Structure 1
Amino acid sequence: MRGFNLDHLQTFADVVRLGSFSAAAARLNLTQPAVSLQVRQLELKLGLKLIERVGRKATPTAAGRALLQHAGGIDAAVNAALEDVAQHGRSVIGRVRIGIGATACIHILPPILSDLRRRFPELDLMVNTGNAPEILRAIEDNSLDLGLVTLPPNNKSLGRALDVTPLIDDDFVAIAPKAMKLPDPVTPAMLMALPLVIPEPGGNTRSLIDGWFAAAGFTPKAGMELDSVEAIKQLVGAGLGCSVLPGMALTTPESRRGLEVRALKPRLTRQLALVLRRDKPLSRGLRETIAALRGLKRRSR
């Protein structure tokens, strides 16, 4: 381990997880050349090439994949050591890596992180956004400590190695431009006659929307598919179509500006859950973060 830089290892893991040096640079608040240099220094230390470019995507080599399998364990071991030392003082230190969907990150997470940072200023909180399948895979391979994700329509698809605690029931709503007067409630048949702007395939949110239409005998034909709920709201507000979105993204007057919002019939609900590995060692920092997120369940009742 002499001369082995743990920051360089984390940078390498972020490049692989995010798929590019530029995305990792944005995540780490570094320049792209600085990220490239850190990865290169790690490669020089090991005497092996760890990352190669395939088109615009950065992918791990065989050696990189082997190192990545150990990266989560190394990070956990370092956190455990810091936690043991911290118990001799009063502070909570270490790193907690959280995976979360972009909508929940915007509308749920900020006050929780703010409170944790106020109470534990030395706790290093890292947040990665993505769709639920990506986050679950990262939790399983220990590159994330926990996730707040939308549960799939069939929860049996979750691995047995994961501990799942449902926290929030979030009703979907229909939205349209302010000038378009939607009926209340809105059915799948009504929306099929209108241009649709909906989340792109691949995540649990889109799977739930597709299932809602399918139960009524329809397949939605989207004019636009985007990976950002906030972008969808902007396009709908500009008059480019209608959508079905999670209600949590439309809970305030500001978030509804320029939009008509209606309930759905039949009702469509998604469940957001806290997920982590059953065998995950719980440092104090991780325990405090879990407790803060579980507070969402109490507030949602």
Structure 2
Amino acid sequence: MFDSRHIRTFHTVVRAGSYSAAARELGYTQPAVTQQMKALERDAGVALFARAGRGLRLTEAGETLARHTEGILAGLTAARQQLTALGRLRAGRVRVCAFPSANATLVPSAMAQLLAEHPGIRVELLEAEPPESLHRLLRGECDIALAFGYPGTATEVPDGLEEIPLMEDLLTVLLPVGHPLGRRHAVRLADLAEERWIAGCPRCRANLLHICAEEGFTPDVVFTTDDNLAVQSLVAAGVGIALMPALVLSFMCHRKVTGRGVEPHRRRKVCAYVLREHRALPATTVVLDSLRTAAAARVGC
């Protein structure tokens, strides 16, 4: 069993290049670093360093350990943060990390229900697009993450997380007012093959490329931005057209933009994610129930 302090010191020695440099960085004396590395070698049962002139070099065993130290330290940090998160949840404090359009629609409705029915629950809101929101959940930086995914594109759920489906969000094509296709009730994607496009976040852009490829063309993406207001303003200015989820259009719709349904229908799946071991905690359950209620009401709109 390795001592985590020794692993951290080893990692610093490898990065700094010497015991003395590591000692300065860590605020230790050089003999203290030397003793820690000797203790680590005893635990490992092999030499980790060899002398190279006046410096040090890693042995084969040292190189092997060095390849694992970042993962070991990241795992220890994540474990500590997740334990802290567990204590917060037991106290009724929940951090929800959601993508922008969910924070503007689903989350406010859910929070209003919580305040009315469970005033003792305290919620902190954070914002991040997937997959960063899921990474923050794994690192213990939030307790519930809301994320979206598209059919046909890779959206693997990381180990240790539980996925709770909330709703399907219909996609709409945005056209500038006066566009010839704006007179139609719905627009076929294939009819948009010659248009210029505004793409969104990386996951949305990947979906755009995927569904256009299914219709037999590659979209001419002239701008990319994850700012929904900027996307609508670019469309209004006639720079290009875009795909926009219904959640966004429910609270933000530029007066010089026309939204039309897409044929065939395209949707994104919106889900909540939690650490599997935190799923049954009362605070988590209450917040998830409120999010499900908010999503069900949204689907019915």
TM-score for both structures, normalised by structure 1: 0.66
Structure 2 residue identity aligned to 1:123: I
CA contact (8 A) 1:170 1:272 kept: yes
Which deviations, in whole Å up to 9, do the C-alpha atoms of 1:171-202 show, x marking residues without a partner? Answer: 1111111132325322333323222112032x
Which deviations, in whole Å up to 9, do the C-alpha atoms of 1:197-223 show, x marking residues without a partner? Answer: 12032x2x3322221101012222211
Q: Does 1:68 align with 2:77?
A: yes
CA contact (8 A) 2:95 2:144 kept: yes
Distance, in Å, in 2 between the alignment partners of 1:223 and 1:167 is 33
CA contact (8 A) 2:177 2:236 kept: yes
Which deviations, in whole Å up to 9, do the C-alpha atoms of 1:267-298 show, x marking residues without a partner? Answer: 11111112112222643322210110121454
The aligned residue for residue 146 of structure 1 is: 144
Within 5 A, what are the aligned runs for 1:151-162? 151-153=149-151, 154=153, 157-162=156-161
CA contact (8 A) 1:182 1:260 kept: no
The aligned residue for residue 99 of structure 1 is: 97
Instruction: Tell me: CA distance 1:242–1:110, structure 2 relative to 1, closer, same or farther (3 Å).
Output: same
The aligned residue for residue 35 of structure 2 is: none
The aligned residue for residue 134 of structure 2 is: 136
Q: What is the DSSP-based 3-state SS (H/G/I as helix, E as strand, rest coil) of the residue aligned with 2:240? A: coil
How far off is 1:104 after superposition? 1.6
How far off is 1:121 after superposition? 4.1
CA contact (8 A) 1:181 1:260 kept: no
The aligned residue for residue 227 of structure 1 is: 226
The aligned residue for residue 198 of structure 1 is: 199
Q: Match for 2:262 among 245, 261, 264? A: 264
Q: Does 1:188 align with 2:197?
A: no
Instruction: Tell me: CA distance 1:268–1:47, structure 2 relative to 1, closer, same or farther (3 Å).
Output: farther
| Structure 2 residues without counterparts, runs of 5 or longer | 1-25, 29-69
Instruction: Tell me: CA distance 1:293–1:47, structure 2 relative to 1, closer, same or farther (3 Å).
Output: farther
Distance, in Å, in 2 between the alignment partners of 1:277 and 1:144 is 10
Distance, in Å, in 2 between the alignment partners of 1:181 and 1:75 is 56
How far off is 1:152 after superposition? 4.5
Instruction: Tell me: CA distance 1:118–1:296, structure 2 relative to 1, closer, same or farther (3 Å).
Output: closer
Structure 2 residue identity aligned to 1:73: Q
Distance, in Å, in 1 between the alignment partners of 2:215 and 2:140 is 40
How far off is 1:134 after superposition? 1.0
Q: What is the DSSP-based 3-state SS (H/G/I as helix, E as strand, rest coil) of the residue aligned with 2:109? A: helix
After alignment, is 115-124 or 137-146 more displaced? 115-124
Distance, in Å, in 1 between the alignment partners of 2:190 and 2:261 is 14
**RMSD in angstroms over aligned alpha carbons?**
2.9
Which deviations, in whole Å up to 9, do the C-alpha atoms of 1:242-280 show, x marking residues without a partner? Answer: 11111221236x625221111111211111112112222
Q: What is the DSSP-based 3-state SS (H/G/I as helix, E as strand, rest coil) of the residue aligned with 2:104? A: helix
CA contact (8 A) 2:197 2:241 kept: yes
Instruction: Tell me: CA distance 1:165–1:65, structure 2 relative to 1, closer, same or farther (3 Å).
Output: closer
Q: Does 1:255 align with 2:253?
A: yes
How far off is 1:71 after superposition? 4.2
Distance, in Å, in 2 between the alignment partners of 1:66 and 1:274 is 23
Distance, in Å, in 1 between the alignment partners of 2:234 and 2:282 is 43
Q: Does 1:295 align with 2:296?
A: no
Distance, in Å, in 2 between the alignment partners of 1:247 and 1:298 is 14
Instruction: Tell me: CA distance 1:267–1:125, structure 2 relative to 1, closer, same or farther (3 Å).
Output: same
The aligned residue for residue 173 of structure 2 is: 174
How far off is 1:150 after superposition? 0.7
- The structure whose Rg is larger is 2
TM-score for both structures, normalised by structure 2: 0.66
Number of paired residues?
230
Distance, in Å, in 2 between the alignment partners of 1:174 and 1:77 is 42
